[in-house]
Amino acid sequence: MDRKAIIVICPGGAYRFLSPRESEPVALAFDAMGHETSILRYRIHEAGQEPLGLEPVRQLSERVARLRAENPGIPIFVCGFSAGGHLAATLGVHWRNLGLERPDGLILCYPVITTEDGLCNAESIENIVGERDRDFFSLEKHVSPDTPPTFLWHTAADGDVPVENSLMFASALKRAGVPFELHIYPFGVHGLSLATKAVEQPEKKRLPDPHVAGWIDACGEWIQQMLDRA
């Protein structure tokens, strides 16, 4: 029998809102594979507030720790979309130096990764860090052999979070010797989620795409491979 995991889902939304299209529909897809899921509704930035800083990543670490205590021996993967991908990757690269809980794997879906001008998603970075300590939140600079195995996917046509974000993170994983799988699809706007009819947003050109929709099955196979090798 295939081993199963717990998937903690971090929806995107530029650290300003939490996308419902990247929450329950994704949980149902992983549930259908036999995995357990937990959606993290982390704190978001509101107008006039200071940048969020480390609060969301501490929330994520606490969720992973609680689930691990309640489910001993069950691997825990963190799946994040866009800004939620930045949150997941922040825990993945900084867990040791912050004294936080390490997930067993990362699933990063068109993630915000870098703070580099011209490549970053400016709104997400402004909401999480503002102008202070941007290097700490430029996650491609902090990948190490301690970073968990990672599955990434992105579209080359993404106009909101450039594909370089995933490419830079994958390159850093390769240099650190961390196992990873990377899928780059040629077409599609930002925020496709499952890329199925159930999550389409025609007004934002988020249309069903059977090719891109294959990412969830590829991810399921990757999870199984990671579990088999654990």
**pLDDT for 230:** 82
In a domain, 66, yes or no: yes
Q: What is the pLDDT of residues 84-128, one digit of tens each?
A: 999 999 999 999 999 999 999 999 999 999 999 899 999 999 999
**pLDDT for 1:** 47
Q: Is 230 helix (H, G, I), strand (E, B) or coil?
A: coil
What average pLDDT does the segment 66-79 reach?
Answer: 97
**pLDDT for 2:** 65
Cα R_g (the chain), whole angstroms:
16
**pLDDT for 58:** 97
In a domain, 174, yes or no: yes
Query: What is the number of structural domains in the chain?
Result: 1
In a domain, 1, yes or no: no
User: Residue 225: which domain range?
Assistant: 6-229
* Nearest one of 183, 180, 179 to 214, comparing CA atoms: 183
**Cβ-based neighbours of 218, under 8 Å, separated by 6 or more:** 151, 153, 181, 183
**pLDDT for 133:** 83
Residue 213, CB half-sphere, CA atoms under 13 Å: how many? 13
What average pLDDT does the segment 165-190 reach?
Answer: 98
> Looking at the predicted structure, is the pLDDT value of residue 7 above 70?
yes
The fraction of the chain above a pLDDT of 70, given in percent, is 99
With beta carbons less than 8 A apart as the criterion, state whether 193 and 25 touch.
yes
- What tokens were used for 155? 């579209």
- What tokens were used for 126? 């402004």
In a domain, 27, yes or no: yes
> Looking at the predicted structure, is the pLDDT value of residue 25 above 80?
yes
* CATH number of the domain within which 36 lies: 3.40.50.1820
Q: What is the pLDDT of residues 202-227, one digit of tens each?
A: 999 999 999 999 999 999 999 999 99
Supply the mean pLDDT for the chain.
Answer: 96
- H-assigned helices in the chain: 24-32, 55-70, 83-98, 122-128, 164-176, 210-213, 215-229
**pLDDT for 3:** 74
In a domain, 71, yes or no: yes
**pLDDT for 47:** 87
Instruction: Please state, in angstroms and rounded to a whole number, the distance separating the CA atoms of residues 5 and 151.
Output: 15
Instruction: Please state, in angstroms and rounded to a whole number, the distance separating the CA atoms of residues 184 and 166.
Output: 9
Q: What is the pLDDT of residues 36-49, one digit of tens each?
A: 999 999 999 998 89
In a domain, 198, yes or no: yes
* Nearest one of 178, 149, 152, 8 to 78, comparing CA atoms: 8
Per the model's pLDDT, the better-predicted residue between 133 and 169 turns out to be 169
